[in-house]
Amino acid sequence: MTDRHRKLINDPDALIAELIEGMVSAHPRHLRAEGETGRAIVAVDGPREGKVGIVVGGGSGHEPAFAGYVGRGLADAAPLGNIFASPSPSQIFDAGWAAEGGAGVLFLFGNYTGDVMNFAMAAERLERAEVAAQCFAVTDDIASAPAARREERRGIAGDFFVFKVAGAAADLGGSLEEVIAAATRANDATRSMGVALSACVLPQTGRPNFQLPVGEMEVGMGIHGEPGVERLPAESADAVADRLLAPIVEELALTRGDRVAVLVNGLGSTSMLELYLLHRRTAQVLEAQGCTIHRSWVGEYCTSLDMGGASVTVMKLDPLLERWLDHPCDTPALQVGQIAPAPAGNGRAKRARRADGPRATHDLSALRTGGAVGPDAFRAMLEAGAEAIFAEADRLSALDGEVGDGDHGLTMEMGWKAVLGALEALPPKTPISDLCDAVADAFLEAVGASAGPLYASGFAAAGSAVADRRDLDPAALARWIRGMAEGIGARGGAGRGDKTMLDAWLPAADAAEAAANAGGDEGACLAAAAEAATRGAADTAGMIAARGRSKKLGKRAVGHVDPGAESAAVLLKAWAAAGPVAS
C-alpha cells in the first residue's frame, strides 16, 4: 500500500523473536536469552549468590530500554513484551526466575496499566514458587498528572535513573527492602518532560499513530506513541528546553548549591545535533539556578520507535544518589566506571522450576443441561468474535491512535489468534467453563498489555459463573456476561463512566439480565447485550476518562470513542449474530 511507511522488518509476527536474536548476537558478552517463553534477556554472568535480582522491563520499541540495561552492576534480566505492550506474566516470571539469587527479586517498570497488572501477576507467581518478589513503578512524567496525584504519573525516560540507582544498590549488597528504598529515593528526586515533533509508526501498520501537522508539536506525550497533553505551535530548541525545564525546576525546588544529573533523551529519530542544543540550553538554565551538573547523558536511552522529539530528565542528587549513580556498571547501553572482572564461578545454581498444576476439567455428564447455547454453539460464537475482531483491527487501532498508542486492534487480533489456536487443541464438546479457561490462558500469554490480564480475568470469572452448566439458558447466559464484566472490573479497578471497556460490558450485562428476566430466549439476551454494548461504546465519546489509556489526555479525549469499549461491542455483536436467533 502506498501510504505505508517503509520499515526494515521481515515478518511482523516474528518481530520480537528476531529482535531478541539480534540483540543477543550483537552483545554476546552481556546477554543471553533464557526461559520457556524465549522472551527473557538475562545477564551472561548473573545472578550472583545472595544479591537481590533486578528485573527491568516493558514493551519493545523503546530500545535500548529495557534489555540494553542488562549487565553487571545494573539489571540482571529484562522480559520483552510486544511493541508498546507489557510482557505477559509468564515472560516476566521467566526473567524473575533467571534473576533470582536467593535474596528476592525487584521488578521495575514504567507506571502503565498493563505493566502494573502483568508484573504484579508475575510477582504473585514467584511468591507461590517461594521467591520473594516486589514491584516498583516509576512515576517521573510531570505532564501525566498533577503533583498531588504523583502516584498516577507515567514512567518515561526517568526510568533510566531509577533503574541505575536500584541496580547499584543491589550490586552493593542491599537487601530487598533497602533496594526498594533506593529506588524510591531516586524516583522522588527525578522529573521528566517530553515533546514530540512527529508521531511514531508502528511496524505492523506502517502508519503514524496520530496526525501532527508540520509546524506543530505535542507537549507531554508518553513513550508509547500516544499524543501529548497539549498541542502547540513548534518552537525553537531554546524555547522547548525552557518549556520542559520550567515545571521540573519548580517541582524539584532546585536552588543554588544543588547538584543534579541530566538526561537529554531522543525519542527515536531526533539528531544528536538537536539533542546537544537542548542540553546547551538545559545547562544554561541550571547554571542560572546556581545548580551544578554532576553527570549528563545525551542520546537515545528510552525511545518511542521512530518518534521525532525529545525529553529532558533531571535528578536532584544527594550523597547517596550520587554514589549509586557513579557506581560502575557494564551493559550494552550504559557503561559507568571500570567494573572488576566477574569472579570465577559467579552465579548461583538454579533450583528446578515448580510447574503450575493443570487446571481441573469438568465432566459433561455431571453438568446441568437445558439451554440453546451448548459447547459447540459457544465455540462457534467465540470463533465468530475472533473473525469480527480481525475484520475491525485496523479501525480499532485507528481509534486507539486518537487517544492512546494506536495498537488496540493489533493487540486484540493477536489475542484472538491465540484463542483460535487454543480452541483447535481442545476436543469437541469441551465444557463451556473449560473453553473459557483456555481463552483466558491464551489471552494472558499472547497479549501482555492491559487487554491480556483484563480479558483473561473476564473469561475466567465468566467461566466460573457457569461452571455447573453444560448448556447456557437465558439466565445462565446473562450470568456469563455479568461474569465477564465483573472479572474485568475486578482486575482493572474501573467502573461505569470511566471511559473504558466496562462502559460496554456493564450495560451489556444489565441488558442481558433484563431480557432474561422478561422471559426472553437466548437469542434475545445476546441481541439485547449487543445493542446495549454498542450504545455504551458510543456514549464513551462524551466522557472524560478517569482510568485507562486516555486518562492522561483529559478533555482532549472528549469526542473520541474508547477503543476497548468499541472492541467489546464488536465481540458482542458478532456473538449475537452467530448465536441462537431471537424468537
Cell of 352: 528446578
Q: How many CB atoms lie within 10 A of CB 295?
A: 15
> Is 327 a catalytic site residue?
no
Contact criterion met (CB below 8 Å) for 308 and 196: yes
3-state secondary structure of 459: helix
Long-range contacts formed by 364-371: CB under 8 A, 24+ apart: 364/429, 364/431, 364/470, 367/431, 367/468, 367/469, 367/470, 368/468, 368/469, 368/470, 368/471, 369/470, 369/471, 370/471, 370/473, 371/469, 371/471, 371/472, 371/473, 371/474, 371/476, 371/477, 371/522
Q: CA 113 to CA 394: how far, in whole Å? A: 23
Of 464, 470, 478, nearest to 516 by C-alpha is 478
Q: Distances in Å between the alpha carbon of 252 and those of 105, 192, 313, 343, 514?
A: 30, 11, 11, 40, 54
Distance of CA 71 to the CA centre of its chain: 23
Grid cell 528485573 in the structure block, residue: 55
Separation CA 193–CA 244 (nearest Å):
5
Of these residues, 30, 62, 224, 279, which one is catalytic? Answer: 224
Q: What's the CA gap between 260 and 501, in Å, rounded?
A: 42
DSSP of 224-291, one letter per residue?
SS---SEEEE---HHHHHHHHHHHHHHHHT--TT-EEEEEEEE-BS--HHHHHHHHHHHHHHHHHTT-
Pairing, β 133-138 against β 105-110: parallel
HSE-up (13 A, CA, CB side) for residue 331:
31
Strand partners, 192: 141, 313
Phi/psi of residue 525, each to 5°? -65, -45
Say what the alpha-carbon torsion angle 283, 287, 289, 294 is, to the nearest 10 degrees: 80
CA-based angle 16:97:490, to the nearest 5? 80
Rounded to the nearest 5 degrees, what angle is found at the Cα of 536, between the Cα atoms of 533 and 540? 140
Could you tell me the three cell numbers for 31? 546477554
Q: For residues 560 and 403, is the Cβ–Cβ distance under 8 A?
A: yes
Cell of 564: 476497548
**Catalytic residue set:** 224
